[in-house]
C-alpha cells in the first residue's frame, strides 16, 4: 500500500497528497545530516509576529511551503520570501516540497496584499517568488509585474528581487517582468545539466540559461542571479562548467547550497558537501568573475538576500571604478 507522507487541504478541507506524482514512488532513505548542518529553531517572539503578519495578509511563503531550514533565522529578522500565484505548482521537480497539482485561478488582490505586508514588515529588500504556472498563457508574468509595481507604490524605499519560473513556452513573458523594473532578476538553474531529467524534468537547462542572459540584455542595469543545489550526484567539474555557462550569460550573482531531502519520496541526498568544499566553490566563482558568490551548506536563493544585495551593488561600483 502506498504511504502518503504529507497532505494539504483544499478549499473543501479535504486532505489530498501534496505530491500525487510522487506518492507511488518507493521511499528513499533520508540521510542523517552532518554536524555542520545546524539551524536556529523557529519560535522566537519576532518569528511569531512575522508568521502572524503573513497569515493576516493571507499570503504564502516559500519559507514554509518549501520547508526551508533557515526559517527560524530569517523570520526572526522579519525576512519572509513571498510565494505568489497560489500554493500549488504545475511542475513536479524531484527536490521540491511545494505541493503539486492543478492550481486555483489567480487572486487579483494578491499583489496589493504582498505590498501591504512588505510595508508592514519594513523590508529594505523584498523577495517575491512563485509556483510554476504552466496553465496560464503568460506563465504569471503580468501578475509578477503587478506585484513589483504594487510594492514600489506601497514601499518606495524597498528594493525588489523577483525569483521567477522559467516561462518555458511563454513568449514575451520575461519582457513583461523586466519592464516592471525589479532590482534583481533571479532564476535558479537548480542543478547541472546532466541531472535535469531526474531532478528538474519539466525544465530545460539551456532555456533557463538563455532566460538569464536575455534578462540582462533587456535591462543591462538589472542585477541577475541564479542558484544551484549540490549533493544531487553532480560532479565537481560539472559545477565549474555551469559557473562558466552562467558567466557567459552575464549572470552577476551565484548562490550554491546543500540539497536536503524533504521527505522519503523526494530525490535522495547523494552526498554532503563540506564547508571547505563550499569555500572552494566560492573562491573559484569569484575568480571566474561573478560579482558575488554565496556558497555554504545552508545557502538558499533568498537567504540574506538584503545584505547580499548591498554587497552586489558595492561590487559593481568597485568593478566600474577599476575599469576607470
Ligand atoms: S532562506 Fe529564503 S526561503 Fe529560506 S527562510 Fe530564509 S527567506 Fe525564507
Question: From atom 8 of ligand 1, which residue's Cα is the shortest distance away?
Answer: 63
Overall average pLDDT of the 138-152 stretch: 98
Q: Which residue has the cell 545530516?
A: 33
Overall average pLDDT of the 293-321 stretch: 96
Residue 43, pLDDT > 50, answer: yes
Q: What is the mean pLDDT of the chain?
A: 94
Overall average pLDDT of the 1-19 stretch: 56
Q: pLDDT tens, 243-270?
A: 999 999 999 999 999 999 999 999 999 9
Q: What is the 8-class DSSP label of residue 194?
A: G
Question: From atom 3 of ligand 1, which residue's Cα is the shortest distance away?
Answer: 63
Question: From atom 5 of ligand 1, which residue's Cα is the shortest distance away?
Answer: 71
322 CA to middle of ligand 1, Å?
Answer: 34
Note the helical H segments in the chain: 45-56, 62-65, 71-76, 110-121, 141-154, 173-179, 196-199, 205-218, 236-248, 275-287, 305-323
Lowest-pLDDT range of 24-38, 135-149, 152-166, 294-308: 24-38
- The pTM assigned to this predicted structure is 0.94
321 CA to middle of ligand 1, Å?
Answer: 33
User: How many CA within 13 A on the CB side of residue 222?
Assistant: 27
Give the nearest ligand 1 atom to 71 CA.
Answer: 5
**pLDDT grade, residue 7 (50/70/90)?**
low
306 CA to middle of ligand 1, Å?
Answer: 12
Q: Measuring from each residue's beta carbon to the nearest atom of ligand 1, which residues come in under 6 Å? A: 62-63, 68, 70-71, 74, 79, 81, 300, 302-303
**pLDDT grade, residue 214 (50/70/90)?**
very high
Overall average pLDDT of the 118-143 stretch: 97
Overall average pLDDT of the 20-46 stretch: 90
287 CA to middle of ligand 1, Å?
Answer: 27
Overall average pLDDT of the 276-286 stretch: 98
Residue 97, pLDDT > 60, answer: yes
Question: From atom 1 of ligand 1, which residue's Cα is the shortest distance away?
Answer: 303
286 CA to middle of ligand 1, Å?
Answer: 24
Residue 19, pLDDT > 50, answer: yes
Give the nearest ligand 1 atom to 80 CA.
Answer: 7
Residue 24, pLDDT > 70, answer: yes
Looking at residue 16, its pLDDT comes to: 73
Mutate to test the pocket of ligand 1, among 42, 67, 69, 74 (most ligand atoms within 8 A of CB): 74
C-alpha distances in angstroms, 250 versus 56, 212, 223?
40, 8, 9
Looking at residue 23, its pLDDT comes to: 84
Residue 2, pLDDT > 50, answer: no
Cβ neighbours of 76 (radius 10 Å)? 19
311: phi then psi, degrees, rounded to nearest 5: -65, -40
Residue 72, pLDDT > 80, answer: yes
Give the nearest ligand 1 atom to 75 CA.
Answer: 5
Question: Residues near 60 by Cβ (< 8 Å), separated by ≥ 6?
Answer: 82, 83, 84, 86, 87
Looking at residue 8, its pLDDT comes to: 62
Residue 3, pLDDT > 60, answer: no
What share of the chain in percent tops pLDDT 90? 88
The helix-helix angle for 141-154 and 110-121 (nearest 10°) equals 40
Question: Helix, strand, coil proportions of the chain in percent (round to 5)?
Answer: 35, 15, 50
256 CA to middle of ligand 1, Å?
Answer: 14
198 CA to middle of ligand 1, Å?
Answer: 25
Q: pLDDT tens, 217-253?
A: 999 999 999 999 999 999 999 999 999 999 999 999 9
Amino acid at each position: 500500500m502506498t504511504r502518503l507522507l504529507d497532505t494539504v487541504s483544499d478549499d473543501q478541507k479535504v486532505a489530498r497528497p501534496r505530491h500525487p506524482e510522487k506518492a507511488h514512488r518507493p521511499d528513499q532513505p533520508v540521510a542523517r545530516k552532518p554536524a555542520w548542518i545546524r539551524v536556529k529553531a523557529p519560535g522566537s517572539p519576532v518569528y511569531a509576529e512575522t508568521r502572524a503578519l503573513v497569515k493576516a495578509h493571507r499570503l504564502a511563503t516559500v519559507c514554509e511551503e518549501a520547508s526551508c531550514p533557515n526559517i527560524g533565522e530569517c523570520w526572526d529578522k522579519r525576512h519572509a520570501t513571498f510565494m505568489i500565484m497560489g500554493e500549488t505548482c504545475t511542475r513536479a521537480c524531484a527536490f521540491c516540497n511545494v505541493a503539486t497539482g492543478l492550481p486555483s485561478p489567480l487572486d487579483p488582490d494578491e499583489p496589493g496584499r504582498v505590498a501591504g505586508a512588505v510595508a508592514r514588515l519594513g523590508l529594505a529588500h523584498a523577495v517575491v517568488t512563485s509556483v510554476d504556472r504552466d496553465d496560464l498563457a503568460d506563465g504569471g508574468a503580468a501578475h509578477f509585474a503587478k506585484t513589483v509595481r504594487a510594492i514600489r507604490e506601497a514601499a518606495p524605499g524597498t528594493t525588489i528581487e523577483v525569483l521567477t519560473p522559467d516561462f518555458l513556452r511563454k513568449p514575451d513573458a520575461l519582457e513583461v517582468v523586466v519592464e516592471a523594473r525589479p532590482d534583481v532578476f533571479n532564476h535558479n538553474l537548480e542543478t547541472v545539466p546532466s541531472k535535469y531529467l531526474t531532478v528538474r524534468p519539466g525544465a530545460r537547462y539551456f532555456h533557463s540559461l538563455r532566460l538569464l542572459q536575455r534578462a540582462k540584455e533587456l535591462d543591462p542595469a538589472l542585477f541577475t542571479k541564479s542558484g544551484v543545489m549540490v549533493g544531487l550526484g553532480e560532479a565537481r567539474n560539472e559545477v565549474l562548467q555551469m559557473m562558466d555557462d552562467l558567466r557567459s550569460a552575464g549572470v552577476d550573482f551565484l548562490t550554491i547550497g546543500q540539497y536536503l531531502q524533504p521527505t522519503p519520496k523526494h530525490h535522495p541526498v547523494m552526498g554532503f558537501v563540506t564547508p571547505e568544499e563550499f569555500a572552494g566553490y566560492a573562491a573559484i566563482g569569484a575568480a571566474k568573475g561573478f560579482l558575488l558568490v554565496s556558497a555554504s551548506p545552508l545557502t538558499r536563493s533568498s537567504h540574506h538576500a538584503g545584505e547580499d544585495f548591498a554587497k552586489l551593488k558595492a561590487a559593481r561600483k568597485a568593478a566600474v571604478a577599476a575599469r576607470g
